[in-house]
A = this chain, B = another copy of it.
Amino acid sequence: MKTKFINEANNITKELLEGFTMAYADQVKLAKENIVVRKNSKSEDKVAVITLGGAGHEPALSGFVGDGMLDCSVVGDIFAAPGAQRLFEALQLFKREAGILLVVLNHSGDIMSANMASQLAGRVGIKVKMLITHDDISAGLDTPDDDRRGLAGCIPLFKILGAAADAGKSIDELYELGERFNKNVATLGTAMGKCTHPQNNTIISDLPEGEMEIGMGQHGEGGGGRQALISADDTAEKMVELLATKLQLKAGDKTILIINGTGSTTLMEMSIVYRRAAQVLQEKGTEVVFGRIDEILTVQEQHGFQMIIARVDDDHINYLKNYMSNAPYWTAIGK
């Protein structure tokens, strides 16, 4: 039985992208089916920043296409990587001397498409450099980068890279800036309740009432084990400790803290979690220079959130805070 506001299940991705680009027509448009680009493309002497990923995680990833952020998002069907051929089409659209930085979240389908499309692009002289994100720490603190998934930590990275690319940084400078962020960002997900696949109503994750799981991935994959629901403060403390340990945070570090709601979590709850998490970061002597409480990468109606902490340097802070973006789901900044 259908339980969502949709039409034909097979048309979900096409229709949602049409609606999205109609609502934000001042900022974005569809260049081809499932290829979202800025309304006004930037000059070709600047590096293009492109990403790819399945639908079903809105506003990610296409909601962050816009001036000062992504140039293009290549979209697959619900929770499915776009095919290499479609990604190759997007790379062809952005062929330029300055090159294309392709940001890929570490999920096997996305990596496979990105590798194949990059090879196809290489054969026709399109310059592509891949930057892989793997901010999830739920597989364990000593897990090698390759075995860690890309979660919502990609969104602040898009902001940093997009601002720097628009400001004229070279592809090598952007890669270095991005890797410097990747080495200093860590994300952990927590969920309770259930959520469903919109096309077939399969239950993606299902936690009994009163239980929670820390370490949940964005397709419902289990991580750190189930436990009885604890308070928001206890949850925040436990998650900050794990993230701070991974990042080896120390007094004097400058940090950013983002609480990303994965679906039905209220901003009320996320604000309460943010409060205690920020307090703990301050108690550790770090300075939280940038905060966000928002839905930036969701998992349908999952009741849960991802906590993102990064140690940032002056470059990261500058590109995060001092440059505007008109991407539809990036809120304006304080300056």
Contacts and interface: CB of A to CB of B under 8 A. Distances in A.
B4 A269 contact: yes
Contacts of A63: 267
Contacts of A294: 329
Given A264-B301, A271-B58, A291 B192 contact: no
B56 A274 contact: no
Interface string A269-282: 11111111010000
Contact of A274 (B23, B232, B303): B23
Interface centre among A19, A270, A292, A294 (most CB of B within 10 A): A19
- Taking the full assembly, how many copies of this chain does it contain? 2
A333 B15 CA distance: 23
A298 B266 contact: yes
A141 to B, nearest CB: 24
Interface stretch (A98-106, A148-156, A320-328): A320-328
Interface stretch (A5-13, A122-130, A242-250): A5-13
Contacts of A7: 231-233, 272
A298 B271 CA distance: 14
Interface string A178-198: 000000000000001100001
**A: contact size bracket:** 35 or more
A283 interface: no
A326 B334 contact: yes
Nearest to A298: B266
A3 B271 contact: no
A175 interface: no
Interface centre among A2, A229, A264, A273 (most CB of B within 10 A): A264
Contacts of A227: none
Contacts of A300: 266, 268
Given A12-B268, A268-B58, A275-B18, A23 B257 contact: yes
Interface of A: 1-7, 12, 15-20, 22-27, 39, 55-56, 58-59, 63, 192-193, 198, 209-210, 229, 231-233, 235, 257, 259, 263-276, 278, 288, 291-295, 298, 300-301, 303, 305, 321, 324-335
